[in-house]
Structure 1
Amino acid sequence: MPRQVDHDARRRQIAEAVWRLATRGGLEDVSLRQVAAEAGVSARLLQYYFGTRDQLLLGALEILNADAERRARERLVHLDGTGDMRAIVRGVLLEMLPLDEERHSRYLVHVAFFVRFLADEDLAKAVRDGPRALEDLVTDLIRQGQELGRARPDIDARAEAAFLLAGAEGLQASMLLGQRTPDDAVALLDHQIDRIFPEKQTRRPA
């Protein structure tokens, strides 16, 4: 009887090979043959699951981001239903910082993808034109905080969300370079979050 193939596991096996190559030497010149060898599969099987090299890179990035989203949900599950929008926003932003080995490795892979996308307009366009899910999430959380009277009512939630995310992204590199300690980076984020979610707020009038 033929063995049942776990297609999701096989796709992950291939994606993890892309991530390892990304952290070791970047993705500028990576080939399907290199990924197949790293994953321990045939090039034909790799193409069966992902297609072209560009589709492979985008697919591997999609799996990486899905992993990050799942881990973030697991870390934030204890805040679900509490209505503490400040804590939830803070948790989302902390997921972006390389505060442990998992997040450190994820950031290095993202850097490799970023450099690759700079050199390939088609790949860059596929990412650029995608939905801004994280920005939408933080925007919605700030707006909910405003409705609950826990965030400043006089701010633009979308602009603040974009600024917070850009700040977290900027802190990533300075942490890896040793310019800022994890404590310093977290303190800077807290400073900006406290500006949006001051301790004393009242419910916005209906």
Structure 2
Amino acid sequence: MPRQVDHDQRRRQIAEAVWRLAARGGLEDVTLRQVAAEAEVSARLLQYYFGTREQLLLGTLEILNEDAEQRARERLAKLGEAPGTQAIVRGVLLELLPLDRERRNRHVVYAAYFVRFLTDPALAEVARDAPRALEDLLAGLIAQGQELGQVPRDIDAAAEAAFLVAGADGIQTTVLLGQRSPEEAVALIDHQLARVFATETQNSV
């Protein structure tokens, strides 16, 4: 009896091959033939699962994003049943930093995609929505902190969320380039959060 094929696993096998090629030398010159060889599948099978080169890059990016969301949920779940608003915001921001091998590899692949984001409308759409979604999430959490008396009322939640996401993105690059250690990156995030999550009473001391 022929063995049943796990289609999700086969798609992941191909996606991981794209990610390895992206991390080693970018995506601009990667061909379907190279991906097939890296994934140890036939070019015909690769096209069966993903179609064109453009569809391959888009599909493997979507799988990468799904992975990132799943890993983020798992790490946030480890904070406990009632971690507090500041801890949740911190956890979200730390997902933007290459603090371990898994996150570093992911962010290197994202960096390889960056040029494609600038030139491919379909990929650009995927990339464009992610920061705003994070900003909206953090803005809601900061507003919640204001309601709980953990964040000063005069803080603009939306502006602060946008600043924190942009700041984490910038710090991410410096860690990837070895200009700043992961520990220093976390300390910078904590410094900003200490400023945001400060009650009016604490600010007056």
With the length of structure 1 as denominator, give the TM-score of the two structures: 0.88
Q: How far apart, in 1, do the equivalents of 2:201 and 2:75 lie? A: 27
Q: Which structure has the highest helix share of the two?
A: 2
CA contact (8 A) 1:149 1:201 kept: no
Residues 83-162 of structure 1 correspond to what in structure 2 (within 5 A)? Answer: 84-118=84-118, 120-128=119-127, 130=129, 132-162=132-162
Structure 1 residues 58 and 87, CA gap change in structure 2 (3 angstroms)? same
CA contact (8 A) 1:27 1:113 kept: yes
Once the two structures are superposed, residues 34-75 of structure 1 have per-residue CA deviations (whole angstroms, 9 ceiling, x without a partner) of 111111112222122122211111111111111111111111
Instruction: Name which of structure 1's ranges 10-19 and 128-137 shifts more when overlaid on structure 2.
Output: 128-137
Q: Following TM superposition, by how much is the alpha carbon of 1:199 offset from its aligned partner in structure 2, in angstroms?
A: 5.3
Ranges of 4+ aligned residues in structure 1 off by more than 6 Å: none
Q: Which 5+ residue runs of structure 1 have no aligned equivalent?
A: none
Q: Which 5+ residue runs of structure 2 have no aligned equivalent?
A: none
Which residue of the partner structure matches residue 16 of structure 1?
Answer: 16
Q: Following TM superposition, by how much is the alpha carbon of 1:21 offset from its aligned partner in structure 2, in angstroms?
A: 0.3
Q: How far apart, in 2, do the equivalents of 1:14 and 1:33 lie? A: 12
Q: How far apart, in 2, do the equivalents of 1:201 and 1:65 lie? A: 40
Which residue of the partner structure matches residue 192 of structure 2?
Answer: 192
Structure 2 counterpart SS, 1:189: helix
CA contact (8 A) 2:152 2:200 kept: no
Which residue of the partner structure matches residue 67 of structure 1?
Answer: 67
Instruction: Name which of structure 1's ranges 16-25 and 33-42 shifts more when overlaid on structure 2.
Output: 33-42
Q: How far apart, in 2, do the equivalents of 1:28 and 1:56 lie? A: 13
Q: Following TM superposition, by how much is the alpha carbon of 1:124 offset from its aligned partner in structure 2, in angstroms?
A: 4.6
Q: How far apart, in 1, do the equivalents of 2:124 and 2:68 lie? A: 22
Aligned alpha-carbon RMSD (Å)? 2.0
Q: Following TM superposition, by how much is the alpha carbon of 1:86 offset from its aligned partner in structure 2, in angstroms?
A: 0.4
Q: Following TM superposition, by how much is the alpha carbon of 1:83 offset from its aligned partner in structure 2, in angstroms?
A: 5.5
Once the two structures are superposed, residues 4-47 of structure 1 have per-residue CA deviations (whole angstroms, 9 ceiling, x without a partner) of 21111111111100000001110011111111111111222212
Q: How far apart, in 2, do the equivalents of 1:196 and 1:50 lie? A: 44
Q: Percent identity?
A: 68
Q: How far apart, in 2, do the equivalents of 1:80 and 1:108 lie? A: 30
Which residue of the partner structure matches residue 48 of structure 1?
Answer: 48
- Letter in structure 2 aligned against 1:2: P
- Letter in structure 2 aligned against 1:5: V
CA contact (8 A) 1:22 1:112 kept: yes
Q: Following TM superposition, by how much is the alpha carbon of 1:122 offset from its aligned partner in structure 2, in angstroms?
A: 2.3
Q: Following TM superposition, by how much is the alpha carbon of 1:91 offset from its aligned partner in structure 2, in angstroms?
A: 0.9
With the length of structure 2 as denominator, give the TM-score of the two structures: 0.89
CA contact (8 A) 2:139 2:161 kept: yes
